[in-house]
Structure 1
């Protein structure tokens, strides 16, 4: 590396890389340094939107800065790469719960050497799912994989589930389709042929609200829906029963029965 850039002046080395068919053949040694460089990187992009680099750079550093971010890179298709200083920092950042940017999900995944960044399309996402009161005999790896497979593609459990430090529910990361099916229950047979009905709780669902264009809830669950409904309703006129009307009332003056004065009063009907 020089002050002007990387020195690539080694023609003989390039010629030696040509195979018998006259086509360049790279080796593992050629790409390993770059694989090592990007190995601590998380790929992320915002579902249903594209954001400016300056905006996302600041946002990602606020969310993940405590883990030690080296650099934030951007691609022209709205994909951002966040390189952490260590692989452990990458793992800790990836283990955080879902991130929302402007009420839209931030998709995150670990960078892989065969990942086609510029061809990334959001069709599936990773969500955390809880299986409350799951029988302890189903907490093994093989059973959890099969049970979680009824919901989507199982990815991993959280650390607490793996160590059995909490047995109220098993928590599993599952890959599901955007706007797919999100069952409240799943059913399967145990080793003795007993039918098991297991509750499923999604910590977040990748569904889109057509009212606010946000992610994670549908129209009937829109938090401010009741406000919009009230705004759209015409104001009701006050009831005639509650209106006051002025009318004169005649009252005799003491000592002068033939004289009358008119005194305004409010009468409620």
Structure 2
């Protein structure tokens, strides 16, 4: 129509015979076959919320709250429980990643740039980005080379935040890096300064994820789940033993004082009777006795 191609809601496919390798059919994917789509998804972000799966609407509100975008990001949900968010540019993607530690519905959010041959179980569940603080770092170390070396001793450094980049906050350097959570997190690293002196440098983590070695999931602990019923059962057993031999008490019963008692208490001179606002507790009655229950008289002020 008017020389413009009408975009179809489907794509035409053709028969392309597979290659034969060692007598078997093999589908051969060439670099030129995927180059266009590599560029299409290069500005995407893989997002995973620990232990919950929010709605697309909740995820959209979370992403849109991170800044201004030239084009509304496209949010896609995968049945494995993660989202792929496609931005208009890599700059907008990095803006969201560097905007800080993210939470949704009080759960930590894991964000990773989409890469070729992405595998959710291998990428998300074992190696995740964490914000790391390097406290009391010498000011002449605040450059990309030194911070990259320091970050590489902990994991794979990705970005330094704005305050670190501009050296507007000197208490600690803050770096986003990919860390293998299947191994113990590094708490102290050793640095050899320009004079050859070895010093120890502490490493702080804004979030220390729990990794279950049984189910291979971040934020989960099958051991704690199995131990919880045993602890509850033990607690109930101890409570039963502690209450053995004790008499049962009925529900407390309230008895309001009459106007005459109130008037008499007001006429009582100082030093005699009860002070205003004092509660008088009478002898309680255990089960089996007449009256059954604690009685309480309120003396009006």
Q: Which is richer in strand?
A: 1
2:9 and 2:138 map into 1 onto residues whose CA distance is 63
Aligned residue runs from structure 1 range 35-184, under 5 A: 35-63=38-66, 66=69, 68-117=71-120, 121-158=124-161, 161-162=164-165, 167-178=170-181, 180-181=184-185, 183=187
CA contact (8 A) 2:132 2:206 kept: yes
Shift of 1:69: 2.7
**Distance verdict in 2 for CA 1:104–1:88, change over 3 Å:** same
5+ residue gaps, structure 1, are 209-214, 216-245, 250-261
TM-score (norm 1): 0.64
Q: 1:176 to 1:113 in 2, by over 3 A?
A: closer
Q: In the alignment, what sits opposite 2:19?
A: 19
Is the contact made by 2:158 and 2:176 (CA closer than 8 Å) also made in structure 1?
yes
Query: Relative to structure 2, which stretch is displaced further, 90-99 or 185-194?
Result: 185-194
Q: How many residues align?
A: 215
Cα 1:187–1:39, aligned 2, differ >3 Å: closer, same or farther? closer
Question: RMSD of the alignment, in Å?
Answer: 3.6
Kept after mapping to 1: 8 A contact 2:69/2:92: no
Whether the 8 Å contact between 1:77 and 1:118 is mirrored in structure 2 is no
1:1-20 alignment runs, 5 A limit: 2-8=7-13, 10-11=14-15, 14-15=16-17, 18-20=18-20
Cα distance, 1:55 vs. partner? 3.5
Once residues 84 and 77 of structure 1 are traced to their aligned partners in structure 2, the CA distance between those partners, rounded to angstroms, is 21
Q: Deviations over 1:6-57 (max 9, x none)?
A: 122x33xx14xx4353533222221122112212211101012223334334
**Conserved 8 A contact 2:112-2:128:** no
